[in-house]
Chain A
Amino acid sequence: MAEKNRNVAIIGIGQTEYSSHKEYQNQPEMINEAVRAALKDANLTLDDIDCIVHGNMELFESVFQPDMWHVLGSGAFGKPAFRITTGGTTGATVVCAADNLVASGMFDIVMAIGFEKLQEAGSTTAGITNMADPLWYRHKQTGALTSAEANNIIEEFGADRARRAAMKLRIMMDKNATLNPRAHRRFGLEYDQMEDLMNTSPPLVGELRLIHMCSQSDGACVMIFACEEKAKAISSHPVWIRDHIAVHKEEMVANNYAYERPETSHHRAASQLFARNGITDPVEYFDVFEMYDPSSWWGLDWIREFFLLKDDEHIRMVENDELTIDGKLPLNPSGGVTSSNPIGATAMARVAEVALQIRGEAGAHQIKKEVKHGLASGFGGTMWTVLIMLEKDLDW
């Protein structure tokens, strides 16, 4: 990346609660709730917003060009607007898009909207299966439900250690979610339930059990971005976007599980992002990481990919409680995606949570030590990654 044209900060955050059903709101109304919350948080009105970016996965709700109807709640009336989508990564992509649009000088203040009403989708798994090529892969795909990653981890570390680590991570996420009133699934799990859950949670595919998998949620997340000059004037606690990167991969997912496994998009994105920002030890550098963890198995493996770890370092971090909310590097203090997954909002909610943690305003699930450097990830498509780095101070 060349020199950024100008700095961009997050100055407003609004989220609905994430839940399985929102019969009392239609889509524009649900979006509007988060839009109003973000404007209130930023102490702005709609008149201050120069441009609106909108995104979700439109085939879930089966609304073509949904930003047209959603203008009733999005506030885009009479304004410039963009709709940019990339599947599960959409929420992170619209954050990157808002950052680009502000940094470019084209707009000073941009509002980004991510949402999903998966209740109206009926079956999320059917919707995701519909992404596969109709000739070659669709009859083989089972949405995002897969045991492939679990099988790899078991092969590498043995069944007992792998299963325990994945379940411990799942319970850790639930403990965080229980502190977060916006989280969808808050079971109140305890670590002594580990053995029980490993055997009794209903199996989905192979080693993947229901408890490991993300939820099917409704919700909207809205964030407001401003250029440095305006952010400093408007906000008492701007959170700065230092850099972002996206890495997509080819359609043929099976190649990821070939005999010689190719580099994951997570590893590629992290190594490029850290290299160009001079970060040599990401575990030391970051104070929080919000990961798009669609299942506890994926989440477990991806700790290694994102932090460029070797061998069993990621498993040991789980076993040694280094990723808990009071640990060395808190992972998903919000409860993560296994707790709440309104897909088009999910990746943005990761960024929003990191920003709230940096502001020190996360509430009951606030990390106790100071949070200065944060990382958020998005996951989507055929193993795609978006990584976004946030900073408390403009001092890099």
Chain B
Amino acid sequence: MKRVAICAVAQHKIESDIWYKRFQGMLLDVLEDLQQQTGFVFGGDKGVNNIVSCSDDFFDARTISNNGVCDAIGAHYRGEDKMAQEGLNGIGYAMSLILSGHDEVVYLPAHCKESQSESRNVITNQAYDPFYCRCLGLDFLNVAGLQARAYMNKAKITEEQLAKVVVRARQWAARNPYANETRQVELGDVMYSPMLCDPIRTLHAYPVSDGAVALLLASEKRAYEFTDNPVWITGFGNCMDSYFLGDRDLAGNFALKRAAAQAYKMAGIKNPKKKVNLVELMDCYAYQQPLWLEGLGLCADGMGGKFIDDYGPAQYNVNLSGGMLTGRPLMIGGLYGAVEAVLQLQGKAGEHQAADIDCAVVHSTTGGAGQFHTVLVLER
């Protein structure tokens, strides 16, 4: 298979309420940043003719959210497809535009302002069917609470281990100028923070976040026109689990294991433990970091607690950006992870740069309690 490159990335500083700027303005900022980095243009034989955007009708509170950003993403008189899942899937889809021969260069802008809704839980409650689950009050927070309990029982996760995840995330976030929540905390602060949705505590949950990102993808032939050190997409996979919580093994990672297997197979990775040296995963809640690491095959099943005590997350450079836990918007949490992984592979991560990174895994999840997972493998 031919290769597809991510040539450059741009990101908006994440904040909990960017009230002073509309999302169109945020998208213009990342577009101009990316054009300055790469000099890419729209239209013509050599420019971008198709755009893969990512946004969400519910978070934007408007039907066809992408029509509100058409001009701000360069889509006037051009093709544009909106990824309506978490944006990391947009990279997989943009890859198909290039590999199919339809395009040589694809622009991928994305935005999400969680602050615009009164409550994220009101939106995620709408993900449940109007007959059985919605009226029970299910939303992504309380189904995560059920999953957290199931997983903590299975893997014998302690409050202290969860606190370690949060403390470490914020230490790294402090080095990332784009991160949202950088206030430092100690183990006790986390362990005794107010209960949000048992067993998830306030400091276990990601803060409300607004942000926007942009990426430029190109075919192998064209990539070097835009950058000297392209990052290659070598693997992609995603997978859907069943809907009803009772039909699923909440602590079992069924969908994530399949998505990862697909991505590793495409990348030719037989043993991820030996090959992967950077991980950006979408940990909306602290318990998800060890759970998803099990699903990615970097930690043995049911051993997530011990993995934290043994400094496993540090060994694999997990979420050196601070990760989802320190605040990323739900619909583009994985895309922010991809941006971070690209910067790390290009050696441009600044104060949180890790040494000798050559193979990164980026993960994201869509739906409640990880119903759907996406895995991307990036290599230098």
Contact = CB atoms under 8 A, between A and B. Distances in A.
Contact of A85 (B50, B82, B95, B236): B82
Interface stretch (A70-78, A200-208, A332-340): A70-78
B89 interface: yes
Contacts of A130: 61-63
Contact of A97 (B81, B104, B262): B81
Contacts of B243: 68-69, 71-72
Interface stretch (A41-49, A241-249, A292-300, A356-364): A241-249
A77 B101 contact: no
Please give me the 3 A-B residue pairs with the lowest Cβ-Cβ distance, nearest first: A104-B99, A246-B79, A103-B100
Contacts of A382: 67, 70
Given A4-B101, A5-B100, A62-B126, A86 B63 contact: no
Interface in A48-95: 52, 55, 57-60, 62-69, 71-72, 76-87, 93
A86 to B, nearest CB: 6
Contact of B371 (A68, A127, A249): A68
A249 B127 contact: no
B150 interface: no
B171 interface: no
B96 interface: yes
Contacts of A63: 126-127, 129-130
A68 B134 CA distance: 13
A76 B126 CA distance: 20
B20 interface: no
A68 B366 contact: yes
A251 B65 CA distance: 11
19 contacts: A1-B102, A2-B101, A2-B104, A4-B102, A65-B367, A68-B367, A68-B371, A78-B255, A79-B239, A81-B238, A81-B240, A81-B372, A82-B85, A82-B238, A85-B64, A105-B1, A130-B63, A381-B67, A382-B67
Contacts of A62: 126
Contact of A78 (B128, B237, B258): B258
B67 A246 contact: no
A220 B79 CA distance: 25
The interface size bin for chain B is 35 or more
B307 interface: no
A85 B366 CA distance: 16
Nearest to A2: B101
A373 B77 CA distance: 26
Contacts of A349: none
Contacts of A278: none
A283 interface: no
Contact of B128 (A69, A79, A85, A380): A69
Contact of B83 (A66, A84, A100, A246): A84
Given A4-B102, A57-B64, A106-B95, 17 more contacts: A5-B100, A26-B129, A58-B84, A65-B366, A71-B240, A71-B243, A72-B242, A82-B93, A82-B238, A103-B102, A104-B96, A105-B99, A130-B61, A134-B62, A247-B78, A248-B67, A382-B70
A102 to B, nearest CB: 8
Q: Which of B84, B85, B97 has the most CB of A within 10 A?
A: B84
Interface string B46-77: 00001000001110011110111011000111
Contact of B77 (A57, A106, A133, A249): A249
B93 to A, nearest CB: 6
B101 to A, nearest CB: 5
A58 B63 CA distance: 8
A128 interface: yes
Given A1-B102, A68-B243, A104-B100, A80 B67 contact: no
A100 B100 contact: yes
A52 B372 CA distance: 13
A101 interface: yes
Contacts of A381: 64, 66-67, 70
Interface residues of A, number: 65
B302 interface: no
Contacts of A133: 62, 68
Contacts of A86: 64, 66, 80-82
A58 B58 CA distance: 8
Contact of B101 (A3, A79, A87, A249): A3
Contacts of B92: 82, 106
A128 B242 contact: no
B62 to A, nearest CB: 6
A4 B242 CA distance: 35
Given A26-B131, A69-B128, A100 B241 contact: no
Contacts of A131: 62-64, 67-68
B76 A248 contact: yes
Nearest to A380: B64
Contacts of A66: 127
Interface string A1-41: 11111000000000000000000001000000000000000
B124 interface: yes
Interface in A238-280: 245-251, 263, 265, 268
A165 to B, nearest CB: 29
Nearest to B73: A248
B123 interface: yes
B334 interface: no
B372 A68 contact: yes
A370 to B, nearest CB: 30
Contact of B240 (A79, A87, A99, A127): A79
Given A68-B367, A84-B83, A249 B240 contact: no
A72 B82 CA distance: 24
Contacts of B313: none
Q: Which of A26, A58, A104, A249 has the most CB of B within 10 A?
A: A104
Interface in B301-337: none
Contact of B239 (A72, A80, A247): A80
A96 interface: yes
B230 interface: no
B77 A268 contact: yes
Nearest to B75: A248
Given A55-B84, A83-B85, A265 B240 contact: no
Nearest to A247: B77
